[in-house]
Structures are given as C-alpha cells and as structure tokens.
Amino acid sequence: MLKVKSGWKNWQLLTEKGRHIWAFKPGSKAINEHLQNVDDISEQEITQFAEDFQFDKFTNPNSGDKVYRHAAINAKFKAFAGHIPQAANPEAQKVTDAVIKGINYFSGLQSDEGHWPGDYGGPLFLLPGLLIASYISDTPFPKAHREMMKVYLFNHQNKDAGWGMHIEGESTLFGTVMQYVSLRILGVDKNHEQLITARAWIKNNGGATGIPSWGKFYLSILNCYDWQGFNSLFPEMWLFPKWLPIHPWRYWCHSRMVYLPMAYCYALRIKAPENELVLSLREELYNDAFTAINWPKQRNVVCEKDCYTTPSPVLKWMNFFTNHYEKIKWPWLRKKATDYILKYLNAEDEQTEYLDIGPVNKAINSICIWHVYGKDSEQFKKHVARWYDYLWVAEDGMKMSGYNGSQLWDTAFATRAILESDLGALFSATLTKSYQFIELSQIKAEHATHAEFFRHPMIGSWPFSTAEQGWPVADCTAEGLSATLALHHSDLVKPVIEEQRIKQAAEIILSYQNTDGGWATYELTRAPKWLEKLNPSEVFADIMIDYSWTECTAACVIALLELQEVYPDFKNNEIRKAISAGIDFILKQQKTDGSWYGGWAVCFTYATWFGVEALSKAKGNDYYDDMILAGSINKACVFLVGKQKSDGGWGETFESCSKLVYSEAVTSQVVNTAWALLTLMAADFADKKVLEAGIKVLLNRQTDLGDWSQENISGVFNYNCMITYANYRNIFPVWALSRYYRQTIRNYSPPPLKKGD
C-alpha cells in the first residue's frame, strides 16, 4: 500500500454530486456542515505540514496529486481479482495485464458518485485574486488553509526568486508580484528570506508599475496601485446598442464575465483601506516612492518578460478616448451602467449557484458583492461558501483550481477509454458509476434569465465540470454524448438517458456550429475577428471572441457521426451537412506539415489526434471525398512518425502552445505518446514497429499498481497559460493500450457478466 503521510491524512476530500472540497479534519461528512469550519490546527500540525508537503519544483514543477491519490488508493484499492484473459504470447499478455492494471488502479480513484476528482491547478494568478477578495472583505480562510497556501506559494518560487504565470513558466512580473503579495496577505514577514530575494527580482525588473493590466487591477483593489494608472474599462459600453460588433455580449464568455465585474470595481474605484500592510507593500513593490509615481504614465507600461500580446494601435486609440471620458463622464450614465452590471453579476451568481463561470470572475464577483451588500449579506456568504470549491490540496500545497473541477470532461474521456476494448467489460461497476455521473450532469433546464443575459440554449448539453456550475460547452456536450452512446452500446448499463435527451444533445451540438463549419467553446462566434485588436490583456492571445477550434470541431463531428450510426433517421440531412462542413473546417486547419495546433492541451499531438480521429471515423461513409481524407490522414501520420523519439515515445513542452511550433521535450511523455499512438491506430498505420515502440514506452512507465508518474503539464488556455489535467496520465495511456489490445490482440471475449459486477 502507499504510505499516506501523517500531515496529508488530516486533509480529506468531501464530494457531493460532483462538488468537491478539501476539508481539514472534517468531523462530519457533509460539505455544508463542514463549511462552518473552525480554526482547529495546532502548532505541531503546522510543523507537520512543513515536513509532509515537501515538494521539489526543480525535479518536476508538476505535483502528482499524491494527497488525493494516496488516500483514495488506501481506502479503496484492491488488486484486480477477476478473470484475467490469457493472451497468445507473453508480449500480448503484457499489454492485456497493463490495460487491466491501468483501469483497475484508475477505478480506485473514482468518487462514489462516479467522477474522477483531480488536481486542476497550474495557473499562478488565480489564488492571489481569491486572497485579495478574502483580504478586502476581511473574511480570512481557516488557519489550516492559510498554512497550506503558504506552502504552495513558497514551493513554486523559481530559482531566480520570481514566479511564473503558471507552474512551469519562467518568472514574470505578474507571477512574482501576485505571489509576493499573496504571501504578505497570508502574514509572511517581509524579511523572510524568500521574500527578500523575490523583492529584489521585482525591483530588478522595474518594480510593480510594469505589471500587466490584470495585476494593475488587483493591486488597485488592494490599494497598492493607483486606479489612475489603469486604463478605463468604460463601463458604459454595456449600454451600447446590441447590434454593435463591439457590444460586450459578443465577447468570448470568459472575457465578458471577467471584464464585467472588473468594470464594476473600476467604476466604483473599489479599494482596501490604507493600513500597515498596504502602506508597507507600497514601499516594498516599487523603485520610486509611491506618492512620486506618475500614475497615468504607467497605464501602458508592461514588463517585457510578461508581454505576450502587444496592445494594438486601435486599442491605444480607444484607451485615449475612454481615459479622457473618465474626466467628463456623466454620473447618471455611469450609474445606469453600473446598475446594469450589478444586475448581470447577480444573474451570473444565481445561474451558477455562486460558482461563476471560472476562477477569475469567482474572485472578482465576490469583491463586488461584498462591496454592494456587505459581509453579512446572504449573497456574500453564498459566495464565500463556494470559494472552497476552487481549492485543491496536493503534495505541493493548497492551490486554486482553474475551474470548479474537470469532472464531466474527465469522466467522459475515462468512460470512452475504458470502453475502447472488451476488457472494459471487466469494470462494469466503474462504468455504472460513470454513467450515473454523466446522467446527473446533463443539463435539464434553462435559467429563467438565460436569454436576457446572452446565454446559449442549454437543455441537453453537458458542462465541463458540474451541472450546478451549468455553463454548457460545445465539445463537452459532444464528449458527454459520445460517452453515453458508448455506454448504451456496451450493454453494461441500464439506459436511463432516453432517446429524447440524446436528441436534445445532438440538437444543441447542431446549434453550436459556426458559419465557418467549425465549433467554438461555449457559444457561437458572435463578432468578427478584428475585435481581437481590442484585447487589452497583454498576457493572453485570442480572448475576445469564441473561435472555432480543431479539437472542439472534431469532438462534435465524432459525436454526430456516432449518433448517425444509432439514429440514422434523426435529422439526417442536417446532420450530414453539419458533418461535412465540420470536416471542411478541420481540413482547413491542418498545417502544411500535416499537424494540427491544439488550443486546449499540449499541443500538436493533442489536436492531431482529434483531427485524425474525426477524419478516419468519417472515411468510407460518403460524407466527404475519401481520397482527400486519406491524403490528410496520411500527412498527419508522416508528421507524427517524424516526431517519434528514439525511445519510441513522443514528447512536447508547453512552448509548442505559446510559440506555435512543435517544441520537443527532452524525454518522451506518456500523455503525448498516448495521443500519437491513438492517432496512428485510428489511421490504421501500417508500420507496426512504430506502434510497438510507442506501446513499450507506456508499458515500461506503468507503475506496479497501474498508475503512471506525473510528467509535464498537459493543458493550456489562451496560448500562454498552462493548466494541469491530473487524470490525463491515466486516461490516455489506458485508452491507447486498450486500442492496441483491440486492434492487435483481441482473441478473447470476456465471460458473461452479471450487471453491476
């Protein structure tokens, strides 16, 4: 058994319908009761944290989700006791055993309600926002949490004493100042060794005046930066006529929902009261005296190390006008704008049970709601209760997740991975639970205010995390549907998602298709591409509108193809057209070297897998010219074979995402290897030696229990920020091995199963 360190044991994950929160020594199991938590940590336990949560960033900045996994495995793990099929030769037996071991281990991590909780950290600018919300509202986290957050922040300091924008990134001013301020909020003395060196980093890089705009925003809230040094967010734009292409209802929902509360804070110039910490930070963060800084001049100053997207001349020109408008603004118009924004904030809170669409607006909405209704208001209390949904404990400490989890997404992938071969039938109990969770997560009702606040229709859709968070996503709907169809097809579960709900999901997918033939993330593309010229973030690219993506498109095409197999008469013409247009889009995205760029995971191996999976599934079915499909698939294979490393695996670094060129990792990575293998097998790649060499990497890296080690970070958003998908290291190797088993070994039919086995 895995040894659970004593400091880790005090942390327990409580889950309920996909909701998960980490609790320090929970007396009772109920989440809501536990949230009344008390500060019950002893000095001895704090010292224990320091010993038990050691982590070496310089060996690997990615934690392995060991706290959750060790506890889950100790509680639930049983070596596989079922019938192990005998293969024809030892090599084939190894693969068979690895698939069974891999699924068996992963089943041990499944929660009682059927999903796979996991670390979804990575970005380093999230926890600081939440800490600033807790600080300004004077609502501190329990001491045990605060201690664990410190552990995390200290653990991720780079060798040069700064912090990156994400755990693998080189130091940036944004990362460094935000972690520095967080540690100070958490009570760390400015003379702490790690803060002295961090301060030197900040000062050597020009001081906090050069922090990117989101940092300027947070520091202004904290009263450690002057609002005058912040470009106007022009709250009145919410009163524009809706037909204008620049009306914010047309923005990508994440930008819309972040700039909304930011505009509110800006309009009211919300800031913490001056106190000892604030005054001290003003001295600690700048090269000049705070009062001597010419703030308006700092608006566009951004440290070179941070700048990813240079502000366009159009944006500068717009800022010039909006900044001037601040001097002459009409109070009644401003009031009208902020009233509208507040109404919208309340609607977002209510529609998501106060989870909000993501970690950034979660923190900023909390600040607005605290400011408007006060600390004792019901609304604010509801916000605070949901702060915990975003916190995660791993061996590197307590972090803020990039979402309230990746529950549905991981469950859908895991289900399909397990069902890839007959061996999945040996795990019908796991699949029954996955099915329950998938069923639970499908969205069944519309909010009363959905149209008023520009939400895409959602009945029948699936979200990325949980139904209560409830923002539908196009490709999550596709994955939810594919997993459901695979489960129904397997005959291992009793179908409770009826035909009508399957068709609703298909209709939602159709409703999401853009005129370019592709699918975007949460909504249709609502404005032209030139709106990107107004991207004010400096640190992210392509955030202004919801773009069509290869991965999202492929997932939707695949789900529709699978639907056609089962319900050929349902909207046949419409679906066929949608599929063909989707394929067109995918083909257009292919690069001349045969690869596809991945926008949501690292990187070319990911999107190439999606592209090829969709095209090969469509082949031979009259949806498209098969010669063209074959040509494209072939090019993709040539690309992948060219990238195979000498050990037989594949490996990319996150720089593939930010630099847009394939960046080879020093060692091969099991997740990239699995994607490449899945692609080649989907393409029926002829040279089996290539496959065998890749499969060997997966086999050799599997641990005795059936896990794989955490390697490089796998996820990304907006090109420049990376995000952890802790379950990918299990899902994709299992999937690839299962496919290999199915294609090359399958000489075995599982014994008839009792359902619920």
* Contact set with ligand LAN (CB under 6 A): 254, 258, 358-360, 402-403, 409, 464, 473, 475-476, 521, 540, 551-552, 600, 717-718, 723
> Torsion angle of alpha carbons 535, 537, 538, 541, nearest 10°?
-60
Q: How many residues does the structure list for the chain? A: 757
Query: Whose Cβ is closer to ligand LAN: residue 150's or residue 254's?
Result: 254
Dist. CA 104–CA 398, nearest whole Å:
28
Extract long-range pairs of 703-710: CB within 8 Å, 24+ residues apart: 705/2, 705/73, 705/77, 705/101, 705/105, 706/98, 706/101, 706/102, 706/103, 706/104, 706/105, 706/106, 707/69, 707/105, 708/670, 708/733, 709/64, 710/60, 710/62, 710/63, 710/64, 710/65
| Interior/surface letters 573-598, b for 16+ CB within 10 angstroms, e for the rest | eebbebbbbbbbbbbebbbeebbbbb
Coil, strand, or helix at residue 44? Answer: helix
Query: Whose Cβ is closer to ligand LAN: residue 10's or residue 182's?
Result: 182
Tokens of 731: 């899902």
- Whether omega before 603 lies within 30 degrees of 0, making that bond cis, reads yes
Minimal CB distance residue for ligand LAN: 717
Catalytic pick among 65, 306, 396, 475: 475
Task: Tell me the three-class secondary structure of 367-394, residue by residue.
Answer: HHHHHHHCCCCHHHHHHHHHHHHHEEEE
CB 501 within 8 A of CB 581: no
User: Residue 400's CB: how many other CB atoms inside 10 A?
Assistant: 25
Tokens of 704: 């005795």
Dist. CA 513–CA 253, nearest whole Å:
16
Query: Whose Cβ is closer to ligand LAN: residue 73's or residue 177's?
Result: 177
Query: Whose Cβ is closer to ligand LAN: residue 53's or residue 675's?
Result: 675
Is 389 designated active site? no
Q: What are phi and psi of 4, to 5 degrees?
A: -90, 125
Q: Which residues are bridge partners to 716 per DSSP?
A: 722
CB 418 within 8 A of CB 431: yes
Tokens of 246: 């620049």
Residues annotated as part of the active site: 475
